[in-house]
Amino acid sequence: MAHEVHVEIERKYDVDDTVGVPDLTGVASVARTSEPDTATLQAVYYDTERLDLASQRIVLRRRVGGADEGWHIKLPADEGRLELHWPLGEESPIPEPVLDLVLVHVRDRELSPVARLTTTRTTYCLFDSAGDDIAEVADDLVSAVDETTGQLRVWREWEVELTDNAPGSPKKREALLDAVEQRLFEVGAKPSESISKLAHALGREKLGAAPPRWSLTSKSTAGDVLREAISSLTERLKTADPLVRQDEADSVHSMRASVRRLRSVFATYRPLLASTAAAHLESELAALGTVLGDARDPQVMHDRARNLVRSQSNKKMHEAVLQRVVASKSAEYHKALNYLRVIMSSERYFRLLDDLEAFVTTATFAKASNKPASKALARGLAHDYSRVRKRMNAVDGAANPAEWHERVHAVRKAARRLRFGVEAVTSGETAIFGDKARRLAQAAEGVQDSLGEYRDSFQLQDLLVVSAEIAHADGENTFGYGRLHALEQQRADVALEEYSRAAGEFRRAKRWVPKR
């Protein structure tokens, strides 16, 4: 069930019953105004009992009548609102593709009608000199029933919405809206007191507040910085959720990275966050990360094998390899993705989201978290830097190749944790440490990336060997597998050379570790 996407840029105005829509011809680039067209729109707005969607400034409705009747979701955007549109369908149940996009906010709470609106809409299209419609003015008479209280509210409002043919730059779009607005003000219109029809129907000026934020300075406590970091990363996790449900490109990778970053914050700064709640969240994030990894790892092998074959001049020779390897990993990915979706619709997952949100506002941290962030947070970073160094030194003591690989992988994971721990307190609102710490994160990233490349190459080599054995048993020519395996061995050697260089840079990065 595909959906259409539209960026809604509009302004709303309150107006009394005695005022008529003025002629807007000649205002800004408006060369002509259409004759009025009237339609009746009936909409049902859905939310939970505690208005979880409204609190996120999200609107979910089903509207009958008008050119865009159907299921709609409206989301906040950098400019205006993002409106998603599906075909009409039945009123109940809410179609799964629609529900998937709001489930991260609704979770396992019931969605039901919270408002029913009947709107008599008279529209006027505004055209420029080229004959393109650049905006639409809607004169709406609205009758709304608040389903939570039974209260009826009736009002009249004007909406001015830009079309896809509106000026291309934000500055020009703003100028057009300003000019139209000035003309509407002249006849008595006023900016709407409510942000949307749903807000008005519920007797509110706003639908919801922004997530909690802490005003951070160089004197902020470590606890406030960590609350902001966890809050921001939780929002990143929630943003990735609906994309995974729709199987958007790189969505599993994005969600997995958000989970790993959150885990790194809880692990690096464990002494400051010390509590049963923090330990529980760290454990639950680890469990979710495992399921995400089960879906992400086949993707990595799928893409790596495909790109390896595509890099060869004789693609025909390797086509059988591609079909066998890529097909198997594609099937493995979709099986894992289906399981991931089950997990993401479970009570356990929904409670994890609840607990993450609650943690930043209600959790009690260790006393040390009340100390200045620049000192208290440095201790965790210094510890993690030493941790990576110790694991690097342990690699040479491996007794056999299997243990060597295990220890190298441990270095990679430790470097990743250090990198994410640094980045959590060096960017955006949490930029407590400056360029030196960011260089430390870059040095850790160099170790992580080089060993990640080596690990991916090593795993593809194993996959090619196993696939070649199966192909041989099926009577296929396995020469192509051997050639690709040799190429991957070369790539692995290059990755280890890169790790040697990155490890040297990391050791020299000790001077960038924040002082405790």
The pLDDT tens digits of the residues spanning 222-255 come to 999 999 999 999 999 999 999 999 999 999 999 9
Residue 363 predicted with pLDDT over 70: yes
Q: Residues with Cβ < 8 Å from 357, sequence gap 6 or more?
A: 234
232 and 311 co-located in one domain = yes
Residue 453 predicted with pLDDT over 80: yes
What is the predicted pLDDT for the residue at 211?
Answer: 62
How does pLDDT run across 148-189, given as a tens digit for each residue? 899 999 999 999 999 999 998 999 999 999 999 999 999 999
Q: Residue 77 — very low, low, confident or very high, per pLDDT cuts 50/70/90?
A: confident
177 and 274 co-located in one domain = no
Q: Which two tokens stand for residue 161?
A: 């919405």
Q: Which two tokens stand for residue 98?
A: 């629609």
- Tell whether 403 is covered by a domain: yes
- Name the more confident of 203 and 213: 203
- Tell whether 187 is covered by a domain: yes
Q: Which residues pair with 125 in a beta bridge?
A: 136
Q: Which two tokens stand for residue 288?
A: 């979710």
Residue 93: asked if its preceding bond is cis (omega within 30°), the reply is yes
197 and 229 co-located in one domain = no
233 and 272 co-located in one domain = yes
- Tell whether 304 is covered by a domain: yes
What residues make up the domain containing 165? 4-201
Q: How many degrees, rounded to 5, is the angle at CA 332 between CA 328 and CA 336?
A: 175
130 and 277 co-located in one domain = no
Q: Residue 273 — very low, low, confident or very high, per pLDDT cuts 50/70/90?
A: very high
Boundary-marking domain end, from 147, 172, 201: 201
Distance CA 139, CA 25 (A): 17
Distance CA 384, CA 376 (A): 14
State the average pLDDT for the chain.
93
Q: For the chain, what percent of residues have pLDDT higher than 90? A: 79
What is the predicted pLDDT for the residue at 213?
Answer: 66
3-class SS letters over 155-222: EEEEEEEECCCCCCCHHHHHHHHHHHHHHHHHCCCEECCCCCHHHHHCCCCCCCCCCCCCCCCCCCEH
What CATH number is attached to the domain comprising 236? Answer: 1.40.20.10
117 and 235 co-located in one domain = no
186 and 283 co-located in one domain = no
How does pLDDT run across 291-329, given as a tens digit for each residue? 999 999 999 999 998 888 888 877 666 777 778 888 888
What is the predicted pLDDT for the residue at 432?
Answer: 86
164 and 234 co-located in one domain = no
Q: Which two tokens stand for residue 139?
A: 């004169």
- Tell whether 215 is covered by a domain: no
- Tell whether 214 is covered by a domain: no
Residue 210 predicted with pLDDT over 70: no
- Tell whether 155 is covered by a domain: yes
- Tell whether 210 is covered by a domain: no
- Name the more confident of 427 and 206: 427
352 and 460 co-located in one domain = yes
What CATH number is attached to the domain comprising 153? Answer: 2.40.320.10
Residue 214 predicted with pLDDT over 70: no
Distance CA 447, CA 33 (A): 63
Residue 362 predicted with pLDDT over 80: yes
Residue 141 predicted with pLDDT over 80: yes
Tell me which amino acid residue 93 is: P
In this prediction the pTM is 0.90
Q: How many domains does the chain have?
A: 2
298 and 421 co-located in one domain = yes
Can you tell me the mean pLDDT for 186-203?
A: 92
Q: Report DSSP letters for 263-278, one per residue.
A: HHHHHHTHHHH-SHHH
Can you tell me the mean pLDDT for 39-43?
A: 97
Pick from 483, 46, 99: nearest CA to 308: 483
How does pLDDT run across 336-360, given as a tens digit for each residue? 999 999 999 999 999 999 999 999 9
What is the predicted pLDDT for the residue at 209?
Answer: 62
Q: Residue 218 — very low, low, confident or very high, per pLDDT cuts 50/70/90?
A: low
CA 164 to chain centroid, in Å, comes to 26
| Pairing label, strands 10-14, 152-162 | antiparallel
**Residue 50, Cβ neighbours under 10 Å: how many?**
8
21 and 139 co-located in one domain = yes
Distance CA 407, CA 114 (A): 56
* DSSP single-letter state for residue 250: T
What is the predicted pLDDT for the residue at 220?
Answer: 87
Residue 373 predicted with pLDDT over 80: yes
What is the predicted pLDDT for the residue at 434?
Answer: 87
H/E element holding 64? strand 59-64
- Tell whether 217 is covered by a domain: no
What is the predicted pLDDT for the residue at 212?
Answer: 65
* DSSP single-letter state for residue 429: G
Distance CA 247, CA 334 (A): 10
286 and 163 co-located in one domain = no
